[in-house]
Amino acid sequence: MSELFDRIDALVASRSVLPPPAERRRLRQAHGLTLDEVASALDVRRATVSGWEAGKTEPRPPERDAYARLLDKLAELYPAAAAAPVQDDEPPAGAQPLSTGSASEVGDMTAAEHTLAPASPPVAAAPAAVTRPTRTTRPTSSSTSGRSGATKAAPAATVASNGDSRFENGPLAVVDVEDGKVVAYCVGGLVLDVPAKSLPSLVEWTLKEARLGAPKLSGPGKDADPLLVLTESVLKRYGLPVALTEEERHAGRIPEGHKVIKQLARAEWKLTKRGFGPWARIYRPAQGSERACVQLCIPSWNALDSRHWGEAGQLPPADLARVLGVYASRVMTPRGSTAVTGLELMTALHPPTRASEPGADGRRHSEYNPGSLGKDPVDCAPCEAPDGHPLLADLPRFHVRGPAEKLFEEACDWARPMTDAECTLRHLVGIDVNMAFAAGVNGLIVGLGAPTHVKAPVFDAKLPGSWLVDLSHVGLSRVKVGKDKWAGLDASLLPSPFTPKGEQPQGPAWHATPTVAYAVELGYDVTPIEAWIRYDNGRYLDGWYQRLRDAFLATMADLGVHADLAPADFLAAMNGWRQPDPKLAIVVDAVKATVKGGLGKLRERPRGEGWKPGQPWRALARPTWRPDIRAAVISRTRINLHRKIVKHAAFTGQYPVAVLSDCVVYAADGTSPLDFLPYRDGKPLPGGFKLGINPGLVKWEGTQDVLWGEEVRERFDAPALNLARYIKDGQVTDKDSGE
């Protein structure tokens, strides 16, 4: 009789009543459960649960009874009446709307240093690490090759914000092998079954059925090509090596005779000149306006450099799709390293050409897009050219150019011995400027075309360029700190703002416009000897700054650090800011690396290729090779920081002990920046340092004992060892100290 009852119970369970598919997903998300967690509990594939929630498939015994029991329990905790209505256009957690407002300038503070209007509030994250969107789902159409439909949750920056059905499955997918089947993990929890048996067929499927990609960022621009991230298991499935050999790593690609490359050639697919490497591009020549191009990212070939992407390359496919998806929606679909992507973002926001108005015959043609760098490269000025540039080919082989021959705008690296009074204090406190180089970009006027050489020019702060001028007479003992307001300072305790090492200039030297303008701001006359000026100019990088700023602020807000926090609350929020979601914190690191790397690419040096001094190298052939723009950004960033240092010294009498790029160290009695920053009624010193998350504002970098600093300098017999380099964790090695 007992066995009979068991069979009856099993029969009833096989018909357990289940809620509608949308309700199944709502209940799971309401409890903060991921698809992976439910799949693991029921001992099924993640794609199986995804199919149940889309209504494409139904659970069968014995999983059906357990699944019904789970949903019943969740329904008790989260009744349907209490649930907010689910709408098709509700943005997912990774699709933070971007703020487009720019800061205004007030007084002598730069625009980036003011509190910006915070980005739109992020979608509340579930307790689980992987945040899932809340949205109705639709099954994708079945493929002609027999692929089953897949569940769909619209990914960031596609249907949610643009309504573009061409890219309804998001900008990218992580392709993996599960239970012997190839699947594609997209953003928003979507999993697609992939029928492709080879790499060429995977490319075909991506372009014809996957509906991957992203809309263009600018009217005259191009849509982003779909990105496929290939895991190790998929590399094995398609006959590619899991790791590159030492020779292949050096070459940056696998050999042209590899069998997979031959497969692509037989299918009439082409590779770019870079070949098949960590970031391969596979394409066919465009037919009219239709592009046929897929980009591959191969983490096990070091496509996701751990210096910029942390542990992203080791994440499970679903988590990696989420991390890259958030970055793609807020910055752009990665086009290579963060440096390459930073440079590509400039072009995507300001394409070099646009379609003209129709001519007499009704046809349009390609024309220059105003405000861009154009499609043809321009020569830099001789003083802006790095060593080995073709413009310097006539110089003697071992000639070393001095300041009067070479523009040398770099970040500040300066330190000094502590005074007796500072040694009586207990701590050294470091503060760090958020997104310092991004803040230096905001509102900066840069040259768009070629420079013009001018003898004995009159300095004009509105003209970008390089100026040969003697600033040795500009001192810091008496400086102008406001309109008709002067301050007396101890110049021996301050770095000179005109040289990267903080040394006083010794005669004529080449300087970028922001550096010379600061000398005028301090109250001194300047008389340039000659200059290379760019009369064709504009705020080329404004949109680039705004997009990266908004990406940074939106992601930090998701991690609990908001732009409107009070100083003490901000410091508390920054203490362990990675902990709420370490995977999302990877996006923050990648955004910051995109800023620095993109600016660095503006003066990219030769990378092997058999290059010899005096010969051109590959980077010179692109219009975005602009060392003058890089120099102007670094100059303005260094000047912005020095201006704050001067204002702080004039108001408080406190001077920095060390400065390194965007980090400043002060001696103080307390361990917090609030122990020496002059806040009054919660308001900072105008023009000085302000705590906050916006670019240009500062955060706490680290605190060490004064005795630690003295001991380190004594150990290495270096009274001016730059302590800012080690203030974060206090770790100093012999190698770091130059020993």
Residues 395 and 256 in one domain: no
pTM of the model: 0.80
Determine the pLDDT at residue 27.
87
- The answer to whether residue 646 is domain-embedded is no
Whether the predicted pLDDT of 29 surpasses 90: no
Average of per-residue pLDDT across 673-697? 94
Determine the pLDDT at residue 161.
37
State the total domains in the chain.
3
Residues 135 and 72 in one domain: no
Determine the pLDDT at residue 156.
36
Looking at per-residue pLDDT, the higher value among 624 and 159 belongs to 624
- Identify the DSSP state of 434: T
3-state SS of 629-682 is HHHHHHHHHHHHHHHHHHHHHHHHCCCCCEEECCEEEEEECCCCHHHCCCCECC
Residues 70 and 123 in one domain: no
User: In terms of residue numbers, what domain contains 400?
Assistant: 382-410+442-538
Domain boundary among 279, 304, 336: 336
- The answer to whether residue 608 is domain-embedded is no
Determine the pLDDT at residue 4.
57
Average of per-residue pLDDT across 507-518? 98
Residues 314 and 450 in one domain: no
Q: Are 628 and 471 in contact (CB under 8 A)?
A: no
Positive or negative: CA dihedral 316, 318, 323, 325: positive
Q: Are 665 and 433 in contact (CB under 8 A)?
A: no
- The answer to whether residue 729 is domain-embedded is no
Distances in whole angstroms, Cα of residue 638 to Cα of each of 408, 440, 444, 462, 609: 12, 8, 13, 18, 34
Average of per-residue pLDDT across 40-66? 83
Residues 314 and 398 in one domain: no
Domain boundary among 512, 538, 564: 538
DSSP states along 525-584: ----SEEEE-SSEE-TTHHHHHHHHHHHHHHHHHTT--TT--HHHHHHHHTTTTTT-HHH
Looking at per-residue pLDDT, the higher value among 131 and 486 belongs to 486
In the numeric block, which tokens belong to residue 214? 């992203």
pLDDT digits (tens, 9 = 90+) for 572-611: 999 999 999 999 999 999 999 999 999 999 999 998 778 9
- The answer to whether residue 347 is domain-embedded is no
Q: Are 211 and 202 in contact (CB under 8 A)?
A: no
CA angle 571, 576, 578 (to 5 degrees): 120
Residues 142 and 217 in one domain: yes
Distances in whole angstroms, Cα of residue 702 to Cα of each of 2, 36, 148, 663, 665: 69, 38, 54, 10, 9
Whether the predicted pLDDT of 710 surpasses 60: yes
Beta bridge partners of 182: 177
Average of per-residue pLDDT across 166-175? 96
What is the CATH classification number for the domain harbouring 47? 1.10.260.40
Residues 172 and 318 in one domain: yes
CA diameter of the chain: 108
Looking at per-residue pLDDT, the higher value among 195 and 64 belongs to 195
Determine the pLDDT at residue 6.
58
Average of per-residue pLDDT across 302-324? 96
- Distance CA(213)–CA(312), nearest Å, equals 21
Residues 44 and 137 in one domain: no
- The answer to whether residue 708 is domain-embedded is no
Residues 121 and 19 in one domain: no
- The answer to whether residue 68 is domain-embedded is yes
Average of per-residue pLDDT across 625-654? 97
Residue 58: count of CB within 10 angstroms of its CB: 11
Compute the mean pLDDT over every residue in the chain, rounded to the nearest whole number.
86
Average of per-residue pLDDT across 449-470? 97
Q: Are 163 and 154 in contact (CB under 8 A)?
A: no
Determine the pLDDT at residue 674.
96
Backbone angles phi, psi at 171, to 5 degrees: -80, -20
Residues 196 and 304 in one domain: yes
Looking at per-residue pLDDT, the higher value among 196 and 485 belongs to 196
Beta bridge partners of 210: none
Looking at per-residue pLDDT, the higher value among 84 and 736 belongs to 736
User: Which residues have CB under 8 Å from 288's CB, separation 6+?
Assistant: none
pLDDT digits (tens, 9 = 90+) for 528-573: 999 999 999 999 999 999 999 999 999 999 999 999 999 999 999 9
Looking at per-residue pLDDT, the higher value among 54 and 155 belongs to 54
Looking at per-residue pLDDT, the higher value among 672 and 42 belongs to 672
Residues 294 and 224 in one domain: yes
Average of per-residue pLDDT across 666-670? 97
DSSP element (H, E) containing 338: helix 338-349
- Distance CA(484)–CA(285), nearest Å, equals 63
Average of per-residue pLDDT across 242-253? 94
Determine the pLDDT at residue 85.
36
If phi over 0 gives left and psi between -120 and 50 gives alpha, with beta otherwise, what is residue 712? alpha
Cis bond before residue 62 (omega within 30° of 0): yes
Positive or negative: CA dihedral 501, 504, 506, 507: positive
Beta bridge partners of 296: 228, 280
- The fraction of the chain above a pLDDT of 90, given in percent, is 69
Determine the pLDDT at residue 15.
58
Domain boundary among 57, 82, 107: 82
Which residue type, as a one-letter code, is found at position 640? N
Average of per-residue pLDDT across 396-423? 95
Positive or negative: CA dihedral 241, 247, 252, 253: negative
Beta bridge partners of 680: 683
Determine the pLDDT at residue 48.
85
**Lowest mean per-residue pLDDT among 113-122, 332-341, 637-646, 662-671:** 113-122
- Identify the DSSP state of 178: E
- The answer to whether residue 636 is domain-embedded is no
3-state SS of 191-240 is EEECCCCCHHHHHHHHHHHHCCCECCCCCCCCCECCEEEECHHHHHHCCC
Q: Are 441 and 631 in contact (CB under 8 A)?
A: no
- Distance CA(51)–CA(45), nearest Å, equals 10
Determine the pLDDT at residue 163.
53
Distances in whole angstroms, Cα of residue 254 to Cα of each of 31, 239, 301, 414: 46, 12, 10, 44
- The fraction of the chain above a pLDDT of 70, given in percent, is 86
Length of the chain in residues, anyone? Answer: 739
**pLDDT bucket at 398, cuts 50 / 70 / 90:** confident
- The answer to whether residue 557 is domain-embedded is no
Residues 27 and 122 in one domain: no
Whether the predicted pLDDT of 160 surpasses 60: no
